[in-house]
Amino acid sequence: MTRRQLHLNAFLMNTGHHEASWRLPESDPHAHVDLAHYVRLARIAERGTFDSLFLADGPQLWNNLAQRPAGALEPITLLTALATATEHIGLIATASTSYNSPYNLARKFATLDHISGGRAGWNIVTTAGAEAARNFGLDAEPAHAERYARAAEFLDVALKLWDSWEDDAIVADKAAGVWGDDAKIHPPRHQGRFFSVEGALNVPRSPQGYPLLVQAGSSEDGKRFAARYAEAVFTAQQTIEDARAFYADLKARTVAAGRDADHIKVLPGIVPVIGSTEAEARANERLLEDHIVHAHGVDRLERLLHLDPGTLELDGPLPSDLPPESAIEGAKSRYTLVVELARRDRLTVRQLIGRLGGGRGHLTFAGTPEQVADTIGLWFASGAADGFNIMPAVLPSGLEAFVDHVVPILRTRGLLRTEYGTARRTLRERYGLPRPANQHVVAPALV
Question: Strand, helix or coil at 389?
Answer: strand
Cβ neighbours around 261 below 10 Å, total: 13
Contact indicator for 105, 96 with CB cutoff of 8 Å: no
Cβ neighbours around 114 below 10 Å, total: 17
Average pLDDT over residues 150-165: 97
Q: Which helix H or strand E contains 363, and what residues bound it?
A: strand 363-367
pLDDT digits (tens, 9 = 90+) for 312-323: 888 888 887 777
Question: Strand, helix or coil at 387?
Answer: strand
Angle between helices 220-229 and 144-162 (to 10 degrees): 10
pTM given for the model: 0.88
Considering just the CA atoms, what is the radius of gyration of the chain in Å? 22
pLDDT at 347: 81
pLDDT digits (tens, 9 = 90+) for 339-388: 877 787 788 887 787 777 655 667 888 999 999 999 999 999 999 999 99
pLDDT digits (tens, 9 = 90+) for 280-293: 999 998 898 888 77
Q: Tell how strand 265-274 and strand 120-125 pair up.
A: unpaired
- CA quadruple 135, 136, 139, 141: dihedral, nearest 10: -90
Which amino acid appears at position 325 of this protein?
Answer: E
pLDDT digits (tens, 9 = 90+) for 257-272: 999 999 999 999 999 9
Contact indicator for 273, 358 with CB cutoff of 8 Å: yes
What own/partner pairs with CB < 8 Å and gap ≥ 24 does 306-312 have? 312/349
pLDDT digits (tens, 9 = 90+) for 8-34: 999 999 999 988 898 999 899 999 999
pLDDT digits (tens, 9 = 90+) for 414-442: 999 999 987 779 999 999 999 999 999 97
Lowest mean pLDDT across 155-169, 180-194, 210-224, 255-269: 210-224
Contact indicator for 168, 440 with CB cutoff of 8 Å: no
CA 237 from centroid of its chain's CA atoms: 14
Going from the N-terminus, what domains does the chain have, and what CATH number goes with each? 7-277+364-430 (3.20.20.30), 293-356 (no CATH)
